[in-house]
Amino acid sequence: MVSEQRKGETLEAYRARLNREFDDKFPELARFSFPWPWDEQDDLWFEAVTGETIPSDQRAPRNAGL
């Protein structure tokens, strides 16, 4: 699996290609992966479940529409 973005490939197409390759190569692990990018709600869920806080510089970017 090549993990470099191809020249002229959009970020969305790159992520979709990596996800397809991962699904093909590791089908038993693919069911545990997220079909969407990690966002602020996922950070909040992680903190609630684990009790650990995520430093502000490592948080997912906040959606401007919130």
Tell me the average pLDDT across 26-44: 79
Inter-residue contact 30 to 18 (CB < 8 Å): no
Domain spans of the chain? 1-33, 35-66
Pick from 30, 32, 4, 10: which is nearest to 19 by CA? 30
- Virtual torsion, Cα 59, 8, 5, 2, nearest 10 deg: 150
Tell me the average pLDDT across 37-43: 78
Tokens (6 digits) for 62: 């906040």
| pLDDT value at 59 more than 80 | no
| pLDDT value at 15 more than 70 | yes
Inter-residue contact 39 to 30 (CB < 8 Å): no
Residue-level pLDDT at 2? 58
